[in-house]
Amino acid sequence: MKKQGFIVVIDDDEDVLVTARMILRNHFEKVQVESSPKKLESLLKTVDVDVVILDMNFKTGATSGNEGLFWLRRIKEIDPEVHVIMNTAYGDIQLAVECMKDGATDFLVKPWEQEKLLSTVKNVLELKQSKKEITRLEEASKTLARDLERSQGDLIGSSPAMQRVFESIDKVAVTDANVLVLGENGTGKELVARAIHNASKRSRKPFVKVDLGSITDSLFESEMFGHKKGAFTDAKEDRVGRFEVANGGTMFLDEIGNIPMNLQSKLLSVLQNRQVSKVGDHRVIPLDIRLVCATNKDIYGMVQEEQFREDLLYRVNTIEIELPRLADREGDVGLLTRHFMQAYGNKYEKPGLKLTKDTQKKLESYPWPGNVRELQHAVERAVIMSSSDTLEPEDFLVKKPNKVPPKNKSLNVEEVEKQTIIEALEKYNGNLTKAAQELGMGRSTLYRKLTRYGI
């Protein structure tokens, strides 16, 4: 099997080029020969060359090696990652040392034997690929380290609403289908993304989270696609983009509804073509990723209002998973409370914590507008502040639900609809399913209107 790699041979001797091509093409994926080094600049700027075998002298009778040294230095200026083997008919040790100092990887003396040529090129190519992989892993490690937060915990729930979510995760995880996770803040969208990744065939590969709401427009391309040194003023070194870091694994784009229209087309192009180019580099990097996106916005309403591209929406939501509010997860408040009590009891060295019946009643009657995240923070605070092993109602400082405002007499259609939704939610104590039935609309439609009206 041929080794993957692009080998370029530069020599003014046609016999050398013919021989090199015949020997190398049987062992390497791509071999190109050129009689003049002047084509090197355009070649290096358009394709990903791995190894260059460079002649030392191109003028008739020249033996100084100055031309070879000039082009060696030029190659390293254009692409420092290219490995160069110097090729000369004159076995000058001093010249070889000078070449090594200027960045050459190895040295061949003509006429070379076939075995010597092959072994040298193979060794240099393997060295180049090893260094490239080390660089990629180092950059991946840096990026993943920046993303590393405290333990994400588990996706927990026994309610019918959560059982439907678990069924969807099980079905989609075994595929490579793109997934769009919808839900309010604090419902656990990232946990769903991680659960899909962990249950997939990509589980041993990277899970890369990108919060699109925290990336400025000016840094979007550099952060997502990477950049070459010198591509712009602050590009002091090469940078691997998030897409390249996620190669082989799962890319989680959180808050995709926050990406501006002018950048949506660039994201769509990458997703459609399954390849990316770094800023300042025309070469393309093939991508093999599983895409999971999430948003708490009314993404369909944004499409209607031309704030989100319809073609991008269809690209990212092959499968859609909608997370329920905590208020719609019957029985899960107690289950989650006990889970967080155990976790924070262990963390703060307060094992064996218990709840009183009054405390349970208080927690279960509260609507939890901040969803699971609010409950988690409330439990952590209660564990820290409690002076006994039993958590009392006063240990949980939760806000009282906002009172429903008086009925709006406005005849504005949107105001009337908003008020009607508020009244339905009040009637059913925040139960989305029952409120949607009362209003005569689907639960997902009601959820989008809640987001739209800021309820």
Question: What DSSP state is assigned to residue 326?
Answer: G
Kindly state the average pLDDT of the residues 184-194.
94
pLDDT at 399: 66
CA distances from 82 to 23, 44, 71, 130, 442 (A): 21, 9, 12, 13, 59
pLDDT at 403: 47
Decide: 216 and 223 in contact? Cβ < 8 Å. Answer: no
pLDDT at 267: 94
pLDDT at 409: 57
Q: State the fold for domain 3-131.
A: Rossmann fold (3.40.50)
The rounded distance, in Å, linking the Cα atoms of 29 and 50 is 11
pLDDT at 193: 96
CATH class of 160-322: alpha beta
Kindly state the average pLDDT of the residues 27-35.
93
User: Which of 19-33, 61-75, 146-160, 168-182 has the lowest average pLDDT?
Assistant: 146-160
Binned at pLDDT 50, 70 and 90, residue 62 comes out as low
The distance from CA 385 to its chain's CA centroid, rounded to whole angstroms, is 38
pLDDT at 92: 65
Domains 3-131 and 160-322 share a fold: yes
pLDDT at 111: 84
Selection from 16-20, 37-41, 153-157, 232-236 with the highest mean pLDDT? 16-20
* Residue pLDDT, tens place only, 385-416: 998 999 999 999 876 655 444 444 566 777 88
Average pLDDT, the chain: 87
Hey, which residues does 449 pair with through a beta bridge?
none
Q: Which residue has the higher pLDDT, 262 or 172?
A: 172
Binned at pLDDT 50, 70 and 90, residue 144 comes out as low
The rounded distance, in Å, linking the Cα atoms of 52 and 85 is 6
Question: 69-77: which pairs have CB atoms within 8 A and are 24 or more residues apart?
Answer: 69/98, 69/99, 69/102, 71/10, 71/37, 71/40, 72/99, 72/102, 72/103, 72/104, 73/102, 73/103, 74/40, 74/41, 75/40, 75/44, 75/103, 76/102, 76/103
User: Which of 14-23, 46-55, 159-168, 441-450 has the lowest average pLDDT?
Assistant: 441-450
User: Which of 86-95, 214-223, 257-266, 421-430 has the lowest average pLDDT?
Assistant: 86-95
pLDDT at 418: 86
Decide: 134 and 20 in contact? Cβ < 8 Å. Answer: no
Decide: 49 and 61 in contact? Cβ < 8 Å. Answer: no
Q: Could you confirm whether domain 413-453 is CATH 1.10.10.60?
A: yes
Give the start-to-end residue ranges of the domains of the chain. 3-131, 160-322, 326-395, 413-453
The rounded distance, in Å, linking the Cα atoms of 116 and 34 is 21
- Statement: residue 287 has pLDDT above 70: yes
The rounded distance, in Å, linking the Cα atoms of 358 and 360 is 5
Tell me the CATH number of domain 326-395, given options 1.10.260.40, 1.10.8.60, 2.70.70.10, 1.10.10.410.
1.10.8.60
The rounded distance, in Å, linking the Cα atoms of 65 and 454 is 73
